[in-house]
Structure 1
Amino acid sequence: MSLSTIWKCMFSPRLIKVYGTASNLYQPSTYERWGDQVISSLYIIWKLGLYTSPFIVGILYHKDYFTSEGLMSLSKFVTSIGVILVISYFSRGLGRSSDDTYKNFIKALKEVEQNITPLTKQNISAYDFEFYAWPVEYNLSTIKRSNKIETAAFNPMSHRSMVDNLFQLPFRIAASVAIHTFGIRLIYPGSLGILKLLLDKALIQGRTRYVEYFRGERFKIKTYDGNDLDTMFVDKRNSYPNGNTLVICCEGNAGFYEIGIMGTPLEAGYSTLGWNHPGFGGSTGLPYPSQEQNAVDAVMQFAINKLGFKIENMVIFAWSIGGYSASWAAMNYPDVKGVILDATFDDILPLAENQMPDVISPIVKIAIREHVNLNVAEQLVEYQGPVLLIRRSVDEVICLREGDISSNRGNYLLKKLLWKRYPLIFGESQMLLLEEYLSLTTSKQEQILRTHEVNESECISLLQTYVSEYTKAFPLKIGEEFGDLGKNRMALFLAHKHLKDFKSTHCTPLPPEMFQLPWEVNVESDYVFT
């Protein structure tokens, strides 16, 4: 082996697994293992040191380490660490350069870096390794902006007077500091490095399952803002009845495609595209709203332009906080086939205020509205297509009061959606009836439907007649001639069609049999008015 080979192997990516082999993971040599362990340990210590730097500086100052003698001792310590680090890198490079498996991996990586072809991609896909070295296969920066669908945006803060702005300036500074230090990681704990370390083994097993069992293909996508997205695509076109429909999965605040919701539509026979939020798994960046928007936009463009799916054959499926990305995508890609939101809220502010002390409520409100305004309902109501909400009946996260299903924020999402789409149906009395309906579980909801004599065929017929005669675009003006009884029946029918209950807690995986495409009013060309 040459010194140049050792040098390259010192800084090359860590090989994790060779797919299709009997052993679970790549087994490094003693030299490589020792070098990796020391480097990883020093990296963790460095990160912990950064987070605790104010305390460390205080201790060093108290111990007189900022005197000439103290600085000399510190320099010796830093030099010793540097020597250990150099030896560790050399040990790692030596071990890798003498391992045939690793040398084959490096050869495949070099070939795909020089030219991405179906053959070189197939060769490198046989390996699982550190994602930073994965080749970029779809780069939005190379596509002209004119090809990009124009996106909409909402201004979260209304204009205030100068006096109000001056009064709120300290709160706004505190809110900005909080969000940009620890706040975004509290909202999206999946971006915490320590969580990635704890889940590393599970994430590897998840990727292995998708690649080896489902024949999934991993891709790296580069967004407009320069983030790299870690994605997994499983193609079931021409092999399953539902395979021509692509389900794009948006994970929760601690969800990764490797161990998240992607398995549900996959087992239901759909082609599936999973992706990790910015800062999650192999994805770079942090999950601020602007980066989330660019991420899901890149995923949609990738599905259309690279994978070759038509927009009308795509379904967006989201869990929990993933409803923000999903609703934004639906708002900006209005021709998608449908949107399925599982355990999702209408607005993150009530949930955030519910978890924080009242004394810091002004700071929390500003932090959310100005920096992390996850306004799911505001975006979802702009979408014209079919929507299905799945509510967890014993959800301990989305409910403001534990055990009280009426406080589930998914209820508010449904109310805002239905009121926006059917304004003449949902008057004051119908909204009260809807609240009563939403405070109950499935069996008691069915009892209310029977009590009010809701006839599904009759309601569908009325909707089909209106759509055939007027328009399918929301808001529908149907209901102006209805009496209270007719409005009540239609309101309950619409709630029943848009919401399904799942008896579970927040984090229980959704069973494949519960994954259903959203209901919509279908009118055949030969439909006869009733």
Structure 2
Amino acid sequence: MSFYNYIFGPKLYMEYKGVPEPQRKMYEPGGVEKFGEQILSTLSVVWSVSYYTSPLIFTFLYRRGYFAAEAMPALAKISTSVGLIVIISLFMRGVGRKQSRAYSNMMTALTQAKANKSSEALHGFDIDFSAWPVDFDVKTLAGDPKKPTNAVGRREGFSIAALPCEVIAYLAINTFGLSMIYPGSVKLLQKFMMPMLISGRAKLIEDDNGIRNKVKTIDSNEIDTLFIDNRNDNVGNGKTLVICSEGNAGFYEAGIMATPIALKYSVLGWNHPGFAGSTGKPIPEQDKNAIDAVVSFAINQLGFALEDIILYGWSIGGFSTLYAASIYPEVKGVVLDATFDDILYLAQPRMPASLGGIVRVAIRNYCNLNNAELAHKYNGPVLFIRRTEDEIISEDNRIDTNRGNYLTLSVLRHRFPNIFSSTQLSRAKGLLSKPLEPYSYSVAEEKLIMSRLITYASDEGKSFPMQIGADYTDEVRNQMAVFLLRKHLRDYNSTHCTQLPGEFFSIPWDIPIEHGFVFT
């Protein structure tokens, strides 16, 4: 193996059991490699900070006269010195790595994985994911004509008069805007979180037998995924796969996977484009292509049927989840935890009122995460989990302003328009203005309500919107509206970022149409 490969090979973070050393072991570089790596890492951090503060730096240097002709030789000398330091540091890194048995073993496994297109031996190591070979490429599949090609949401109308607003909105999204919406894509934050991500990934791999795979999307992004297979556990939920979509600063290494894992489901986690090991940017189109590729991977390589897949999204991950549900409507169900209806209504209150028009154009044209609109495209079972102390998608922690309320009611009104008329919507809003109190229906009440739903669904089908309730009295509508609200939404007394306890995660309720339905 050439010395060049050692210089520019991937970082090695950890060895897992199955390699010569027992159990997992953090990779400890030797003195020569460590010194060279520290210098390169420091320069990388300085470059990252300089990138985000470049307008201030250039202004400072310009005012100090460093861009004048007489200052150019000094700047050239500094650049040459920095370049020499980089070359020496790279050489030291290469020498140290070549002397390391662990690193040499990893390079051998990596070379074999790329040659044989099998990464089994490589699973004994945790490395910089950019060097990991692709395990599944969605472009190798035949196209699916069922998938919609139209973009979700609407683009604001364009006119010459609106051009300045369009330009400002575009610049805002592509500079600081996307980082504000998806802070997990900021590289400085990822550098800070790296030790926690490595540790979390190691726990999933070693304690839960997780397998890391690289999935390539239709737009050539590489998505970092981790799969935990519990199908051999005959007493658990392993035959069902839960695909987890994280929040705007969440990573599968330390995210929502823990809840379905504890319940013994098979679980597939993934990181948004631009997050940790995933390439790209978390703009809507790339994010949609990413979750599409992840679901395709679950079906075509992991061997799960759509009917055995639950899509689970937390916070902004609800967008990815609902998009996947809209193009894979046969999934077993959708679970949405702390998810909002439309990001526009979260973005506007956090910006000055004078910028409201620019914010609207920026969101609608470049980052239109409209979950309510997507949810209307899905006909299957869905469960909403509302955090009663949510401080992120509510104003001043007021439960009546929780955007999950609006998403839930939007879906219910779309699905049952005759039951959720204006009177029932007002009643439902009143109930959602405070935590839902426990309520048990009598057997007779529940049997009567369910018989109405089952009879209609059996006769007319379960496609939405259902026209059931057109001839009902207000009293019956009220009763059924409250019943349906409670079947679709659960309250969890918590803030936005607390891990969801297993007792709140379940397969979403659905209207049965089979004969012999038994109440439990």
- After TM superposition, the score normalised by the length of structure 2 is 0.95
Structure 1 SS opposite 2:176:
helix
**Residue in structure 1 matched with residue 431 of structure 2 by the alignment:** 437
In structure 2, the CA distance between the partners of 1:155 and 1:386, relative to structure 1 (3 Å rule), is closer
Gaps of 5+ in 2: none
Q: CA separation in 1, counterparts of 2:58 and 2:397?
A: 46
Q: Is the 8 A contact 2:48 2:188 kept in 1?
A: no
Q: Distance in 1 between matches of 2:156 and 2:128?
A: 44
2:123 corresponding residue in structure 1: 125
- Work out which of the residue numbers 202, 226, 231 in structure 2 matches 1:232: 226
What are the within-5 Å matches in structure 2 for residues 314-325 of structure 1?
Answer: 314-325=309-320
Partner residue of 1:388 out of 373, 383, 387 = 383
- Paired AA for residue 17 in structure 1: M
Do residues 16 (structure 1) and 13 (structure 2) align?
yes
Residue by residue over 1:201-251, the C-alpha shift from the partner in whole angstroms, topping out at 9 and shown as x without a partner, is 110111101110000000001111111100000001131431111100010
Distance change >3 Å, CA 144–CA 491, structure 1 → 2: same
Contact (CA 8 Å) 2:184, 2:190: kept in 1 or not?
yes
Q: Which residue of 1 aligns with 2:169?
A: 175
Among 152, 155, 158, the alignment partner of 1:157 is: 155
Contact 2:309–2:331 under 8 Å retained in 1? yes
- Quick one: which of 481, 497, 514 aligns to 2:487? 497
Counterpart in the other structure of 2:30: 29
The equivalences for 1:330-409 within 5 A come to 330-399=325-394, 401-409=395-403
Aligned 8 A contact 1:464 1:521 in 2: yes
Instruction: Give me the whole-angstrom Cα distance separating, in 1, the residues matched to 2:89 and 2:449.
Output: 72
The change in CA–CA distance for 1:489 and 1:454 in structure 2 (over 3 A counts) is farther
Could you tell me how far apart the structure 2 residues matched to 1:417 and 1:466 are? 19
Partner residue, 2:4? 7
Residue identity matched to 1:126:
G
1:423 is aligned to 2:401: no
Cα deviation 1:29-86 (Å, max 9, x = unaligned): 0011111110111111122222323333333333333344311111111111111111
Task: Quote the Cα distance in structure 2 between the aligned partners of 1:317 and 1:454.
Answer: 33
Task: Output one character per residue of 1:289-346: Cα deviation in whole Å (capped at 9) or x when no partner.
Answer: 0001100110111111111100111000000000111111111111010000000000
Kept in 1, the 8 Å contact 2:153–2:364? The answer is no
2:190 pairs with 1:196: yes
SS at 1:446 equivalent:
coil
**Does residue 328 of the first structure (1) align with residue 323 of the second (2)?**
yes
Checking the alignment, whether the CA contact within 8 Å between 1:268 and 1:513 is kept in structure 2 is no
Q: Deviations over 1:490-524 (max 9, x none)?
A: 00000000000000000000011211110001122
Pairwise CA distance, 1:359: 1.1
Structure 1 residues 462-471 or 204-213, which shifts more? 462-471
Contact 2:113–2:120 (8 Å) recurs in 1: no
CA contact (8 A) 2:16 2:24 kept: no
Corresponding residue of 2:456: 466
Deviation (angstroms), 1:141: 2.6
1:46 aligns to 2:47 (yes or no): yes
Cα RMSD (Å)? 1.9
2:120 partner SS = helix
1:371 Cα deviation after fit: 0.5
Letter in 1 for 2:467: K
Secondary structure of 2:281's aligned partner = coil
> Could you tell me the TM-score, scaled by structure 1's length?
0.93
Structure 1: where are the runs of 5+ without partners? none
Partners in 2 of 1:9 and 1:147 — Cα distance? 45
> Does 2:55 match 1:62?
no
The sequence identity of aligned pairs, in percent, is 45
Q: Deviations over 1:373-430 (max 9, x none)?
A: 000010111101000000000000111x223111100000011101111011111111
Q: Distance between the aligned counterparts of 2:14 and 2:431, measured in 1?
A: 51
Q: CA deviation at 1:439?
A: 1.0
User: Do the aligned partners of 1:393 and 1:441 also contact (CA within 8 Å) in 2?
Assistant: yes
The reply to whether residue 522 of structure 1 matches residue 488 of structure 2 is no
Matching residue's letter, 1:84: I
Letter in 2 for 1:458: L
- Contact 1:454-1:490 within 8 A present in 2 as well: no
8 A contact 1:6–1:90 mirrored in 2: no
Change (3 A) 1:527 1:49: closer
In the aligned structure 2, how far is the partner of 1:446 from the partner of 1:398? 26
Distance in 1 separating the partners of 2:50 and 2:163: 31
Distance 1:67 1:464 in 2: 80
- Misfit runs of 4+, over 4 Å: none
What letter corresponds to residue 176 of structure 1 in structure 2? Y
Aligned partner of 2:469: which letter? Answer: G
Shift of 1:106: 0.6
Count matched residues.
Answer: 513
Alignment partners' CA distance in 1, 2:92 and 2:515? 72
Letter in 2 for 1:335: E
Amino acid at match of 1:127: F
- CA gap of 1:235–1:64, structure 2 versus 1, over 3 A, is same
CA 1:242/1:23 → structure 2, altered by over 3 Å: closer, same or farther? closer
Contact 1:381-1:420 within 8 A present in 2 as well? yes
- The Cα of 1:146 is off from its aligned counterpart by 4.8
